Structure formats: structure tokens, C-alpha cells
Amino acid sequence: MSWTEIVIEIARDHAEALSEALMDVGALSVSVEDADEGTDAEKPLFGEPGMEPTEAAWDHSRVVALTDEDDDQAVIVAAAAGQIGLATLPKFTTRKVEEQDWVRLTQSQFAPIHIGKNIWVVPSWHEAPDANGLILELDPGLAFGTGSHPTTRLCMEWLEANPAPGKTVLDYGCGSGILAMVAKKVGAGEVVGVDIDPQAIESAADNAQRNKCEIAYFLPDTFAQSQHAAQRFDIVVANILSSPLKLMAPMLSGRVADGGALILSGVLARQAEEVAAAYAPFIKLGVWAEQDGWVALHGRLGSDVVPAAR
């Protein structure tokens, strides 16, 4: 079986409405892309918690609709344009989509990832390249954190470089649970993960079970009502984004035990100073390492010395 994609380049004002109209008149699926992707005019959309973009569209948007091969694509476009009141029919092109083994194709895009000195993140359909390494079996999913993003890698490398035998660890904003699992595998005792997304909590718990890691995961409300409500941890790691990290400075700092370490990532190099300034009343932070324009900040509670970069 084959399908046909309709590709329409259109102004931002009409992208969302046209997408909905295309679905109404028979498209199987619709996506919106940046028509300037790969050029100097490309504009990434970032959705930090509480600051999500109001619409997933760009000034110069590309709407891509998947249709059955036997459909009349011109009729579909005309019907959608008429439904939203466009004065003129938008120009469009079509491209054929052949049937493929989509599962195999998707899997081929995810190979084992080597991180730090000895960590391997291995999808379930691959063999671990080094059976003696620190192996995390982890499939790409809906929760953030597979080891491919620099912010995740930086935190994983810090945890590997600072093993925590018997220590307590809090992974705040745990996503897939990958950082909590690394902490557990480098010797941590009690490890706790927290995330605002129920789907992330479910994914993290499944990943922990698959990797034989005993980790407790909580939503913020249940965390606040658990036995950990007032607990301070030897290591607190948070890989989120700069805006929420700054807002959470008193809370995250308050979770660090005396002499304990705080590690933050999800911070661009140009944001490092302002994030460190937000934490300065509580804990002195410095850049531990930088990768592809992202940094990891770290510091120890009770130390007046700003840690030097790696």
C-alpha cells in the first residue's frame, strides 16, 4: 500500500486552521514544519514548562498532509481552503510515500550511544558493544532522556566521574529516569525521581524495572506527601531548562544535604551566569563542563568556593 503527501507552504496565520481543515476533509494525518528549516531563517520553537508556544507554527510554515493514494489531492486542498475561507487556493505539491517496515526503519535510526568512559545506552533490539560497560537498556519513548542530548550526557558524565556509593540521590525532572539509573548503577543507595508528567513517571518506572534498578518515582504532589517530604539528599540533579531552574532555586537548594552536591543542566552557556546568580544565596555554582553550547553547573552546599570547570 502507498500514500500521497500533500505539501503546502503557507503563512503562520493560516497554518493551524488549515491543518485542522485538512483533517476534517479526509487527510489521515497532518504535521506543521518550519519551511525555513536548514536555512539562516530557521526559527526553533522552545516550550519550557509554563512558557509553551501558543501554536506550533512558524512565520513561514509548511503543512504536510498524508492522504490515501487514490484520493483526489486537489479536491482535498480546495475543500480545506474553502472551509477556512481562503480567498485563493494555496499552491501545493505532492509526493509519494511507499509502504515500508516502519518499525525496522525507526529502529535503524537508534544505535547504542557511548557516554563518558564506560556508559552505554543500548536500545532493546541491539547487543551491548561492551558487555563490561555500565549498560542501560533504554528505548526511545515519550519521556525525555535517551543520552543523545548534550544536557543528559553532561549529567551522566558527572555522575560517572563522581560515584556515590551508598549516598542518597534525587533526580528532579527525571523524564525517562536515565540519570537516576546511572546514579544507582554507580553505587548510590536510595534514589528518588520526580517529574510533573505522569507519562514520564510511568516510563521511568518501567525503565528502572527493566534495568533492575530500585528507584522510587513520584509526581510533585505525591512526593511532597511521601516519606521523602522533608528529606535532603547527598546529590540532587536537575536536567530541566533555565527558566524553571531559576524559579526552583530555593526548593532545589533546600533539598541538598550539608556538604552535598547540586548538578544542574538544561542551561545554555550564555545562561550559566544568570542561573548561577539565582542559586548564589543558597549554594555557589560553577560550570563543570560544556558540550555543544550547553553546560552543566555544579556546587557543594556549605562551600564558599565556586567550583572550577572540568
Residue positions forming the annotated binding site for S-adenosyl-L-methionine: 152, 173, 195, 239
The CA distance from 208 to 198, in Å, is 15
> Which residues in 290-303 are b (16+ Cβ under 10 Å) and which e?
beeebbbbbbbbee
How many CB atoms are located within 10 Å of the residue 274 CB? 11
Residue 287 has which C-alpha cell? 560550570
DSSP state of 123: -
> Which residues in 9-19 are b (16+ Cβ under 10 Å) and which e?
bbeeebbbbbb
Residue set of the binding site: 152, 173, 195, 239
CA dihedral 174, 304, 286, 242 (to 10 degrees): 50
